[in-house]
Amino acid sequence: MNQHLFAQLIATITGVLLLTAILQIWGRSLVRSIGLLSVQGAALAALVLTVGLNAGEPQVWLVTGIVLLMKSVVLPAAMLRSAKLIGETRERPTTINPAVELIGAAGLTLIAYIVGVPLAGPDPDPARQALPVGFSLVLLGFWLLMIRRSAITQLVGFLVLDNGIATVSFLASGGLPLTVELGSSLDVLLVVLILGVLVVRMQRQQGHTDITELKELHD
């Protein structure tokens, strides 16, 4: 693949990955947040395809198909089904101002770039230059876990974090670790399905999925 085209594709795809994470922090609609997660999964699949074609990996289409199916279709569909079963469409109000949430996201993104740029090396290729985006997704996933109250959006944060780890893995290796990605995707699917069942049970027993109101269960 032409290196100029490769660099442009990497920049565009990682830009979409970062934008979807920011929009998930900014928005309050659960359905829209899950939709953004699906777009993020498709962008991750596009990243896999781009990196694989540039590296001449023979299994590029197989890995791309697995990532697209799991990250963009199966996992978002499972979460959307859980959201519909519990009847929640919007994130519960929080004490944190939306502007503060976005400022926090910007700060975490800056930290990711400060840490990630030196790790890319002195003369990085376009893929390694984009490593800070992967670190940003990891930190933004943690941020979503911290600021959201609904169990569904907690799951969104967990999957954003997982997408960030996958992004770092693909960009840093410059190849396609098929067995690692397949095992990771199956593990994440199992976790999401189990948590989806627990979310539905929580809604039926407690009447809500606000994790901040479940402290009495600990006592």
Mean of the pLDDT values across residues 99-105?
A: 90
Q: Which amino acid is at 158?
A: F
pLDDT bin (cut points 50, 70, 90) of residue 44 is very high
> Considering its fold, how many domains does the chain have in total?
1
Mean of the pLDDT values across residues 88-109?
A: 81
Cα(145)–Cα(142) distance, rounded to whole angstroms?
Answer: 5
How is residue 33 written in tokens?
């947040």
3-class DSSP state for residue 101? helix
Cα(79)–Cα(152) distance, rounded to whole angstroms?
Answer: 7
How is residue 212 written in tokens?
């901040």
How is residue 200 written in tokens?
């539905």
pLDDT of residue 217: 47
161 burial via Cβ count (<10 Å: 0-12, 13-18, 19+): buried
pLDDT bin (cut points 50, 70, 90) of residue 219 is very low
Instruction: Specify which of 103-117, 155-169, 187-201 reaches the highest per-range mean pLDDT.
Output: 103-117
pLDDT of 215 higher than 50: no
Residue pair 7/126 in contact (Cβ under 8 Å)? The answer is yes
pLDDT bin (cut points 50, 70, 90) of residue 110 is very high
pLDDT of residue 63: 84
142-190 pLDDT per residue, tens: 998 888 877 778 888 888 988 998 888 888 876 655 555 555 566 666 6
For 55, the domain range is 3-218
Handedness of CA 16, 21, 27, 29 (dihedral sign): positive
How is residue 99 written in tokens?
């502007």
Q: What ranges in 27-97 are assigned the alpha helix state H? A: 30-55, 60-67, 75-86
3-class DSSP state for residue 207? coil
